[in-house]
Amino acid sequence: MPTPVLHRAPPSACAARTPLGPRLPLLLGAAALLPLSPTMAHSEETTALQTLTVSAPSLYDDVGYTRRTTTAGMRFDATLREVPQAVSIITQQRMRDQGLWDVEDVLSHTTGVSVNQIDSSRVDFYSRGFRINSYQYDGIPTLNTDSRWYFGDGALNTAIYDRIEVVRGANGLLTGAGNPGASINFVRKHADSREVTGSLSASYGSWDRSRSVVDVTTPLTRSGDVRARFVGGYEEGDGYLERFGELKRYGYLVIDADVTDDTTLSLGYDTQRGRTSSPTWGGLPLWYSDGSETDYTRGFSVAPDWSYNEWESKKTFAQLEHRFGGGWTLHGVATHEESTLDSRLAYPYGFPDRETGQGVYYYTGWNTGERRVDGVDSYVEGPFSLFGRHHQLVLGGSYHDQSNDYENAFTNGFAVDDFDAWNGATPAQAWPDFSPSERASSRQKALYGVARFSLADPLTLILGARYTDWHGRTWSSTLGNHAQHESDITPYGGLIYAIDDTWSAYVSYTEIFQPQSYRLADGNGYLDPLVGKNYETGLKAAWFDGLLNASFAVFRLEQDNVADIVLTPGSLVTTATPVSDVVSEGFEMEISGAVTDDLELTAGFTHYTATSAQGAFNSDRPRTQANLFASYRVPQWRQLTLGGGWRWQSRTYASQVGPKGVTRDFEQPSYTLADLFGRYQFTSNLALQVNVHNLFDRKYYAYFDTYGVYGEPLNVTSTLSYTF
């Protein structure tokens, strides 16, 4: 029988996850029982006590595959079983073990999240049947994405993040405007060591992909009250698509300063940029002109040899924390982002003849854009007493301003003589001058408050609300100006019953809304705001002082005015038809953390149904998903860690307009993807890790809607890392 995890230290005094790490608390406890040294012994004249200082890397930021506490969803620092919603936390250790290099990697391995790989660069994420467009950085709702344009959001590197938190269901209390599927919070790393620490790593893998990362923390003053952390990296390589190549560079610097004993100030900056050669815009035809299904090789690319994507993101932020007396704390965060895109692409459409390959035409576009985002969030939180019991209160406000400007140029396109034999070679395109195509801006101001009432020793009530004032303005070269003003009060309520020291039961209700700038497909105005409600109940458990967490949730989401978007090649206008009475209901299960000293695992299962007044809703999203990943440190060979896992999703389908204008269903059967990894620790500092993704080389579509995009085939990566 494996030894249960019974002796891990509290977050403030636990060692890094090395072979001796879990036993450090026992060593410290034993040290406390040792006889006093002569200099500490009592004498007739005086009692002299020497101060013993013990330092070790904190486990608060990384406890394997889970985390003891979080502020996700409510701003309170709470254990996971005290949050009345489903929450997944992807830690540094999980990202390292699974080889999750970017945001797309992380979310594709997260319970209840499915990925739409729109083409070789663009990606969308869905939860409980709804597209996720609510993103936060350090708790600030600073970004609403638009899948038409590529700013590199799915390709952002995870090396700069301490963890990524996913709250499934509506999270309107903290995000304001958004969708009810889920919200994602990226929590940045900080300079949390007063000594020089860091790591270096170099990776090489399939398709000549390489990656180098440096992560160093150093004190800037003798006392360590001012500290700095730098993370930098470089990636380049090809891909499984013909002619495809990618280059990424990123850097992150944060300075943390203990201004006083009660005040901490953080200033940070991160920049990420990338360039992709021969990226696709769209994908492969699903049918030949005779109605039979195509079956291209996964490496076949629809991209011309002159196409490219370039993107750059720059973010600046400041954080302030001041601790008042009586347990009250002030938190403030401000951020500014500037992102740019520049791409020349070609979009194929039509159905090729099975024999000749004729019938495919290309539409071309040169797109540039700029996105600016400013966000501020400030709140106070602390305890108060009422009716003889202790409670907690959060009061805060936030401001969010986002603007997007786009310019475009188009050519007459071209036809391909034999699409099945195409190698990407096309004549140089005569690009005209740019012309402004669209400008969009939104401004969101909000006040929010939430209280956690201790009604009885086992019973906690959470009540909160957010008032959001939203202004939006769009201009397009086709439709001219359009302005919107919406305001909304978003309620939040949750009830948690602690069954015992391990189990708790909960029920919660919250709402969310999302103003929309989509033009109605019939041309008569714009869509009304999307409104949604989220009902959820479930059970949660925590074992081994929070090192292993589990949850079971049953949910029901209701939405109206959901946009059924129509994207037409060559059109600068995004039109949509409102879908009413959208209902998603189902259940989710997840367990993550340490089962024993040597075994870490994460496992999840999701099943739901999603319907609307018109029938099935988003049927191309899997209704059932399961995932498992585990790592095991071999007791008889402590230097060796082995692991792996799998992801399974159910059958999916979508109604498409096929050859000759006939509407038909395109179906993808269920499939499983398997991964393996192993790590050998040569010394306490030096390790070699190998990751294998899609072990059985399963061929599947990562996207099919009008066209198809294949997922990555079997690939292998080796990483050599050194910590100090």
* CATH number of the domain enclosing 128: 2.40.170.20
Choose between 461 and 5: higher pLDDT: 461
Residue 35 counted as domain residue: no
Looking at the DSSP bridge assignments, the partners of residue 548 are 543, 593
Looking at residue 453, its pLDDT comes to 97
Nearest alpha carbon to residue 589 among 629, 562, 549, 557: 549
Residue 699 CB-half CA count within 13 A: 7
Mean pLDDT in residue range 187-191 = 96
Mean pLDDT in residue range 349-370 = 94
Non-local (6+) Cβ contacts of 265 within 8 A are: 256, 257, 259, 318, 319, 320
Nearest alpha carbon to residue 65 among 694, 673, 631, 501: 631
Mean pLDDT in residue range 423-431 = 89
Tokens (6 digits) for 353? 């003849």
Answer for the pair 472, 442: CB distance below 8 angstroms, yes or no: yes
Residue 39 counted as domain residue: no
Instruction: Please report, for the chain, how many H helices and E strands are present, in that order.
Output: 4, 41
Non-local (6+) Cβ contacts of 247 within 8 A are: 235, 236, 274, 275, 276
Measure the CA–CA gap between 507 and 554, rounded to whole angstroms: 9
Listed range (432-441, 456-465, 710-719) with the worst mean pLDDT:
432-441
Looking at residue 3, its pLDDT comes to 35
Sign for the CA dihedral angle at 125, 128, 131, 137 comes to negative
Choose between 230 and 130: higher pLDDT: 230
Rounded alpha-carbon distances, angstroms, from residue 135 to 92, 174, 299, 469: 19, 11, 32, 19
Which domain range does residue 212 map to? 69-723
Measure the CA–CA gap between 620 and 483, rounded to whole angstroms: 33
Residue 34 counted as domain residue: no
Tokens (6 digits) for 88? 């997944």
Measure the CA–CA gap between 539 and 561, rounded to whole angstroms: 32
Query: What b/e string do you get for 347-378 counting C-beta neighbours within 10 Å, with b at 16 or more?
Result: bbbbbbbeeebebbebbbbbbbbebebbbbbe
Measure the CA–CA gap between 516 and 326, rounded to whole angstroms: 44
Measure the CA–CA gap between 337 and 268, rounded to whole angstroms: 12
* Cα R_g (the chain), whole angstroms: 27
Nearest alpha carbon to residue 714 among 701, 699, 698, 697: 697
Residue 57 counted as domain residue: no
Looking at residue 572, its pLDDT comes to 57
Pairing of strands 182-188, 123-127: unpaired
Work out the mean pLDDT of the chain and round it to a whole number: 87
Listed range (50-64, 370-384, 517-531, 635-649) with the worst mean pLDDT:
50-64
Neighbours of 696 (CB within 10 A): 9
Answer for the pair 361, 422: CB distance below 8 angstroms, yes or no: no
Q: Count of residues for the chain?
A: 724
Amino acid at 224: G
Listed range (134-148, 356-370, 485-499) with the worst mean pLDDT:
134-148
Residue with tokens 């608060």: 60
pLDDT bin (cut points 50, 70, 90) of residue 215 is very high
Looking at residue 5, its pLDDT comes to 34
Query: What b/e string do you get for 199-235 counting C-beta neighbours within 10 Å, with b at 16 or more?
Result: bebebebbbebebebbbbbbbeeeeebbbbbbbbbeb
Residue 19 counted as domain residue: no
Rounded alpha-carbon distances, angstroms, from residue 86 to 167, 588, 596: 6, 8, 24
Amino acid at 640: L
Measure the CA–CA gap between 536 and 467, rounded to whole angstroms: 22
Looking at residue 21, its pLDDT comes to 36
Looking at the DSSP bridge assignments, the partners of residue 8 are none
Q: What percent of the chain has pLDDT over 70?
A: 89
Looking at residue 656, its pLDDT comes to 86
Measure the CA–CA gap between 589 and 331, rounded to whole angstroms: 33
Q: What percent of the chain has pLDDT over 90?
A: 69
Residue 28 counted as domain residue: no
The distance in angstroms from the start CA to the end CA of the chain is: 34
Find the Cα–Cα–Cα–Cα dihedral 279, 282, 286, 289, rounded to 10°: -100
Answer for the pair 649, 627: CB distance below 8 angstroms, yes or no: no
Tokens (6 digits) for 179? 């969708």
Listed range (262-271, 339-348, 609-618) with the worst mean pLDDT:
609-618
Residue 342 counted as domain residue: yes
Measure the CA–CA gap between 419 and 288, rounded to whole angstroms: 11
141 pLDDT above the threshold of 90: no
Mean pLDDT in residue range 126-142 = 86
Residue 5 counted as domain residue: no
Measure the CA–CA gap between 576 and 593, rounded to whole angstroms: 43
Answer for the pair 295, 288: CB distance below 8 angstroms, yes or no: no
Tokens (6 digits) for 229? 């952390």
DSSP E strands, 358-479: 360-386, 389-409, 414-416, 435-456, 459-476
Looking at residue 181, its pLDDT comes to 86
Looking at residue 544, its pLDDT comes to 93
Answer for the pair 448, 173: CB distance below 8 angstroms, yes or no: yes
55 pLDDT above the threshold of 50: no
Domains identified in the chain, total number: 1
Answer for the pair 642, 671: CB distance below 8 angstroms, yes or no: no
Non-local (6+) Cβ contacts of 370 within 8 A are: 338, 339, 340, 341, 404, 405
Looking at residue 40, its pLDDT comes to 32
